[in-house]
């Protein structure tokens, strides 16, 4: 086993901290820890930097691990990208075999779901993607027996609700009965309808079109067959397993990971903040925090006053202390009435200016709420404050031809070989074939190998031409040249030669859409700009709470919205500085969302609350550290607030 020296830590400080800074005793304990342990970190505590430093240190000792590697698991590709970007050049070996860096989903896909599928069905998975899976469900609805379709429409009334029901059908890995996404059985006994729906679900899986949840279903099936073999394999390959953002791990993910790694042979360290568990099924908290967890209690992000007022929102007391180097600006509750809710963002902008925060370099101002979707009712949601708000789509991968042929999608770090470009271009061709509804003789979607074999059998010269084109396009895409038009023209010719005339009109959206343009246009729309009389302009980004998790803002406005209850009124005791001993499931979810929202700012925290939510509580709120301010109507001069 390796040992971590003072020299190792000093080197890490020089790589990851500003010149002259050192790691705190809490962080040094984490860096030196070589046993399975949970690490609980408060917001803005430098958790990621600490994890990166530890990975870098271990990277220098890889040769001492007897050919074993380290496994680093996160929940998003963004987190993996950050790790790649911030590790130094000497740490590149960390991304080579036998090490593994990736999301839990990609780990499950690569090592469990895909191998099990190949073994069971003797072919490759076509896709693991919720959007493609949902599209396939909608298509196959029309192939169901008339009686089953009639039952679905009669039961769920609208086509939208029918599709929601079908998309939420899962298979219980224990007995293949039908359950929903929460694990609840859908039918008490088997019958014509349940058998038809099981057939639909199994048929899609067997054709290799998997949802993300289906990958976990296959993973569990694999483990049922060979858990001891798998545990032995992974426990021999990895000496360390690090899990980041552990609070977002689902019960199923945790169960699989616990069964895959032998705790007698593998050191597992899990980093996270249990008070920020808002992803997935927020009502379920899977992280079984071990005894005597290591903690990081000092927040570099939040001022001391912000740390104080958000402490009552913690479900697990963190002992957080704020950053004494930041100015103490009293947090504000901006009170509004229904008729002036449109002026809340302007009031926030005025508070930013009156406190001089617009003069801080690299400033960032955001307004965030829990509910962004506008269902057309009168209840308050983000668009109630900002009518132009458009809820952002989550980017889950390339969706249009321009995305498949875009270097930023294929090779964001400029360290991939030609194979990555070739696979992406071929994937675009396969996507065209799939959209056109073309399948193999066995009725399955074409894989890369199957399509190229068909080309070679049909016309060897065409096969050579494709290989030549692929090589040229790889080089052009790598140089960020646009090959979309020539790719489309050539691909149409190939498809026509292989499969006859096709209705290429079906590909119009695939050819013309651009995910980057969609994301950029949405992002630009979700900005509130306010210009003062002196010409000062403040830009405030509008987003959901989930969308800003992990971010740091100069000033944050937490917008009260409605989800079963109004945020501020339902949490008024916490705003007044009190902690409840008994909290229901939905109360815990509300607390965690509020905590994530209010732990973003470094300087100024504001909360937008309708008057009815705080009426009668003003005195106690002020005692707890809140300053209550009114929305200012247009034309009324703002009064400066002391810093």
Residue 351 lies in a domain: yes
Final residue of a domain: which of 163, 179, 210? Answer: 210
Q: What is the pLDDT of residues 600-612, one digit of tens each?
A: 999 999 999 999 9
**pLDDT of res. 396:** 46
Q: What is the pLDDT of residues 139-195, one digit of tens each?
A: 999 999 999 999 999 999 888 899 999 999 999 999 999 999 888 999 988 899 999
Q: Which residues are CB-neighbours of 587 under 8 A, at least 6 positions away? A: 570, 580
Which of 362, 332, 208, 389 shows the shortest CA–CA distance to 607? Answer: 332
Which of 270, 324, 304 shows the shortest CA–CA distance to 47? Answer: 270
Q: Which two tokens stand for residue 318?
A: 């963190």
Q: What are phi and psi of 180, to 5 degrees?
A: -95, -175
Per the prediction, the chain carries an average pLDDT of 88
Count other Cβ atoms within 10 Å, centred on residue 108: 26
Give the residue-averaged pLDDT of 384-407: 75
Same domain, 415 and 512: yes
Report the predicted TM-score, pTM, of the whole model to 2 decimal places. 0.73
Least-confidence region, from 234-238, 334-338, 480-484:
480-484
Residue 524 lies in a domain: no
Residue 335 lies in a domain: yes
Give the residue-averaged pLDDT of 500-513: 86
Q: List the domain range (segments joined by +) for residue 365.
A: 302-389+529-630
Does 521 score more than 50 pLDDT?
no
What CATH number did the domain enclosing 338 receive? 3.40.50.300
Which of 34, 218, 4 shows the shortest CA–CA distance to 109? Answer: 218
Same domain, 282 and 315: no
Q: What is the pLDDT of residues 304-347, one digit of tens each?
A: 999 999 999 998 888 899 899 999 999 999 999 989 999 999 99
Does 413 score more than 60 pLDDT?
no
Torsion of CA 399, 400, 402, 406, to 10 degrees: 10
Final residue of a domain: which of 296, 326, 358? Answer: 296
Give the residue-averaged pLDDT of 530-553: 88
**pLDDT of res. 518:** 43
Least-confidence region, from 42-56, 254-268, 483-497, 526-540:
526-540
Same domain, 339 and 382: yes
Same domain, 559 and 613: yes
Does 59 score more than 80 pLDDT?
yes
Give the residue-averaged pLDDT of 44-53: 91
Q: Could you give the number of structural domains in the chain?
A: 4
Residue 643 lies in a domain: no
**pLDDT of res. 78:** 67
Same domain, 414 and 500: yes
Distances (CA, A) of 524 to 391, 521, 537: 12, 5, 16
**pLDDT of res. 201:** 96
Does 357 score more than 80 pLDDT?
yes
User: 3-class secondary structure for 412-437?
Assistant: CCCCCCHHHHHHHHHHHHHHHHHHCC
Spatial distance between the Cα atoms of 626 and 618, rounded to a whole number of angstroms: 9
**pLDDT of res. 534:** 78
Residue 558 lies in a domain: yes
Residue 451 lies in a domain: yes
- Type and span of the H or E element at 166: helix 159-167
Contact 52, 72 (CB under 8 A): no
Q: Which residues are CB-neighbours of 295 under 8 A, at least 6 positions away? A: 26, 39, 40, 41, 42, 318, 319
Same domain, 105 and 230: yes
Residue 593 lies in a domain: yes
In our burial notation (b when 16+ CB lie closer than 10 A, e otherwise), range 144-176 reads beeebeebbeeeeeeeeebbebbbebbbebeee
Q: Say how many residues make up the chain.
A: 643
Same domain, 79 and 140: no
Q: What is the pLDDT of residues 92-110, one digit of tens each?
A: 788 888 999 989 999 999 9
Final residue of a domain: which of 238, 264, 296? Answer: 296
Q: Which residues are CB-neighbours of 124 under 8 A, at least 6 positions away? A: 114, 117, 118, 208, 447, 449
Q: Which two tokens stand for residue 623?
A: 């005692």
Q: What is the pLDDT of residues 279-299, one digit of tens each?
A: 554 445 678 888 899 999 999
Same domain, 509 and 536: no
Does 508 score more than 60 pLDDT?
yes
Q: What is the pLDDT of residues 556-567, one digit of tens each?
A: 999 999 998 999
Does 394 score more than 60 pLDDT?
no
């Amino acid at each position: 086993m390796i040992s971590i020296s003072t020299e190792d830590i000093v080197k890490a400080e020089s790589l990851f901290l500003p010149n002259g800074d050192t790691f705190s005793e809490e962080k040094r304990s984490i860096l030196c820890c070589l046993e399975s342990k949970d690490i609980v970190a408060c917001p803005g505590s430098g958790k990621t930097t600490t994890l990166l430093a530890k990975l870098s240190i271990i990277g220098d000792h890889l040769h001492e691990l007897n050919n074993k590697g380290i496994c680093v698991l996160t929940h998003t590709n963004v987190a993996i990208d950050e790790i790649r970007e911030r590790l130094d050049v000497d740490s590149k070996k960390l991304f080579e075999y036998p090490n593994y860096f990736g999301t839990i989903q990609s780990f499950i896909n690569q090592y469990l779901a895909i191998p099990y599928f190949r073994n069971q069905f003797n072919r490759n998975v076509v896709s693991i993607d919720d959007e493609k899976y949902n599209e396939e469900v909608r298509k196959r609805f029309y192939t169901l027996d008339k009686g089953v379709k009639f039952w679905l429409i009669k039961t769920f009334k609208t086509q939208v609700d029918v599709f929601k029901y079908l998309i939420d059908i899962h298979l219980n890995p224990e007995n293949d009965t039908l359950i929903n996404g929460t694990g609840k059985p859908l039918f008490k006994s088997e019958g014509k309808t349940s058998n038809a729906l099981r057939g639909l679900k199994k048929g899609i899986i067997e054709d290799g079109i998997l949802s993300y949840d289906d990958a976990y279903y296959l993973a569990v099936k694999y483990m049922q067959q060979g858990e001891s073999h798998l545990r032995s394999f992974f426990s021999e390959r990895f000496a360390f397993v690090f899990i980041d953002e552990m609070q977002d791990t689902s019960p199923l993910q945790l169960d699989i990971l616990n069964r895959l790694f032998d705790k007698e042979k593998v050191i597992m360290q899990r980093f996270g903040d249990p008070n920020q568990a808002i992803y997935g099924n927020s009502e379920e908290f899977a992280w079984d925090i071990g005894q005597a967890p290591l903690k990081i209690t000092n927040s570099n992000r939040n001022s001391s006053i912000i740390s104080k007022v958000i402490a009552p929102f913690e479900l697990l007391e963190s002992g957080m202390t704020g950053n004494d180097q930041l100015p103490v600006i009293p947090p504000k509750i901006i009170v509004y009435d229904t008729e002036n809710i449109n002026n809340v963002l302007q009031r926030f902008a005025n508070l930013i200016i009156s406190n001089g925060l617009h003069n801080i370099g690299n400033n960032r101002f955001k307004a965030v709420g829990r509910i962004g979707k506008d269902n057309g009712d009168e209840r308050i949601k983000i668009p109630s404050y900002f009518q132009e708000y458009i809820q952002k789509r989550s980017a889950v991968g390339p969706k249009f031809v321009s995305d498949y042929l875009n270097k930023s999608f294929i090779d964001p770090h400029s360290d991939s070989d030609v194979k990555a470009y070739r696979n992406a271009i071929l994937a675009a061709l396969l996507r065209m074939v799939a959209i056109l509804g073309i399948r193999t003789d066995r009725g399955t979607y074409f894989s890369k190998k199957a399509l190229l074999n068909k080309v070679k059998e049909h016309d060897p010269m065409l096969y050579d031409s494709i290989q030549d084109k692929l090589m040229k396009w790889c080089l052009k895409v790598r140089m960020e040249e646009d090959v979309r038009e020539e790719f489309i023209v050539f691909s149409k010719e190939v498809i026509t030669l292989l499969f006859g005339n096709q209705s290429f009109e079906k590909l119009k959206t695939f050819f013309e859409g651009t995910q980057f343009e969609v994301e950029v246009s949405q992002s630009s729309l979700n900005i509130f700009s306010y210009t003062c009389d002196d010409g000062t302009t403040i830009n405030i980004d509008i987003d959901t709470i989930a969308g800003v998790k992990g971010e740091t803002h100069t000033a944050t406005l937490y917008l009260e919205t409605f989800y079963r209850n109004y945020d501020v009124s339902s949490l008024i005791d916490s705003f007044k500085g009190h902690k409840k001993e008994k909290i229901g499931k939905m109360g815990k979810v509300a607390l965690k969302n509020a905590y994530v929202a209010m732990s973003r700012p470094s300087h100024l925290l504001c909360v937008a609350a309708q008057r009815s939510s705080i009426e009668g509580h003003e005195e106690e709120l002020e005692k707890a550290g809140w300053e209550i301010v009114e929305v200012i109507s247009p034309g009324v001069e703002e009064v400066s607030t002391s810093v």
